[in-house]
Structure 1
Amino acid sequence: MSEQTSDKVFDDKIEDILVDSELAKKLVPNKFKFTSQQGRARRQKLLMGAKKLSETKAINEISLADVCEEAGIPRASAYHFFPNIEAIFLALRFLNAIEIFEILTTVETEDYDRWQGYLTALLERSVNIFYEDSTKAKLIYDTNTPDFEGDSFGEDIDHQIVELVYERLTQRYELPSFGDVKDMLMVTYSIINGIFTLSYRRHEKITDSYLQEATIAAIAYLRCYLPENLPRKQ
């Protein structure tokens, strides 16, 4: 995919996701929906400018002035779309989270004989996303990056991912009736997230060895509650 085509796909995601999202309305003083084509184009340039800068600079070192200069947008105009630099990077995190979630929905339990294979595939797919776009991992795992403070969005995304895994498992297997499987999956998610965070902060990427460690730890924890071979649904 060419850089120009990639930028167009990213712009389309901005239009599809940010225009009507509740989070977008909280991040900016005005609604994200603009009737002006110029307004939409400027918003996209600011997000693309921030994304490009984050490829080579620490996020906490990037200012709103830097983004405006990269995007070729006057700072006075930028305030119509984002109140501050944190809002720009939160919008990028929002886009990244939605994109990651959509990609994970393509991993099907039917492709694996056991739940361990499905879980392993989910982790491998997640890390492949970060390999393809390093800014996604940086926005999630790096230190001193804007967080969803005072907003439930980050927690909502975590629960959506856990809900996705739970639904896929229940469609394919007969899960045990004891305990709360969703709680077990949330703990599993936290274990994986912790190991990925450690890997990124040590190596600025999710290494193969830490991917393996996350997979081993997640499966080992779930084996305390799930049988090695879950009965498949007919």
Structure 2
Amino acid sequence: MHDIGRVTGLPAPSVHYLFNTVTAIFIELNKIFNEQLTKNIIAHSQNLEIHQLGSWQDLVRSSLTIARNELNSNRAMSEIMLGPIMHRSMRVKNLETNRYHGAASLELLEQYFSVPAIPNMATYLMFSAELVDGLWCGAYARYGAIDDETFAESVRANLAYLRCYFPETMVVRRDM
């Protein structure tokens, strides 16, 4: 209860009172960890200099690397986000977060590159995050972490999917 209280910012008695089932605790932790991970990925990506990015693919790889490092270094986060789903509402929260992350990813891409106007692109970016989630959940179930091979394959799958919509090269924004 104390560890959960630390993550949620609540005293242990409040944790027990407000979240009186394990499922309720997992749902709240899932929400907190999703928000934390998304915030860290966006913050890292917004701080990149254009010379660190040769292409939109580099931005995708960089974001996935941050996510992998965060998850692999935080056992509680990995267990909640990549472990078995205890309740449908956790999965729904993951989808909502991936939808938000898709919109934020599009904004990041537009910050660095001249992105063609593609209807529903934020939705396609959400689906690309779902592809990665599926692969990473499998790796976590097998190894307790996102291993190098699964990470490489998740990047490959993500980029291959996004190439269905994005051109191979995008012009770097000059107003950076």
Give TM-score scaled by structure 2 length: 0.82
Distance 2:119 2:26 in 1: 38
Query: 65, 70, 86: which one pairs with 1:129?
Result: 70
Map Cα deviations across residues 13-58 of structure 1 (whole Å, 9 max, x no partner). 634xxxxxxxxxxxxxxxxxxxxxxxx42257x5xxxxxxxxxxxx
Q: How does 1:153-164 map to 2 (within 5 A)?
A: 153-164=93-104
The answer to whether 1:115 aligns with 2:52 is no
Return the offset for 1:136. 1.2
Runs of 4+ in 1 over 6 A off after TM superposition: none
Q: Which has the higher contact order (CA 8 A, sep 6+)?
A: 2
User: Over aligned residue pairs, what C-alpha RMSD do you find?
Assistant: 2.3
The structure where helix makes up a greater share of residues is 2
Moved more, 145-154 or 122-131: 145-154
Return the offset for 1:214. 0.4
Return the offset for 1:211. 0.3
2:12 corresponds in structure 1 to 42
Letter in 2 for 1:135: A
Is the 2:99–2:123 contact (alpha carbons within 8 Å) kept by the matching residues of 1? no
Return the offset for 1:152. 5.0
Q: Percent identity?
A: 19
Give TM-score scaled by structure 1 length: 0.64
Distance 2:95 2:160 in 1: 24
Is there any run of 5+ residues in structure 2 with no aligned partner, and where? none
Return the offset for 1:166. 0.7
2:147 corresponds in structure 1 to 207
Is there any run of 5+ residues in structure 1 with no aligned partner, and where? 1-6, 16-39, 47-77
2:120 corresponds in structure 1 to 180
The answer to whether 1:86 aligns with 2:50 is no
Query: 30, 35, 51: which one pairs with 1:98?
Result: 35
Residues matched between the structures, number: 167
Structure whose alpha-carbon radius of gyration is higher: 1
Map Cα deviations across residues 62-94 of structure 1 (whole Å, 9 max, x no partner). xxxxxxxxxxxxxxxx3x222312111222112
1:49 corresponds in structure 2 to none
Distance 1:195 1:81 in 2: 33
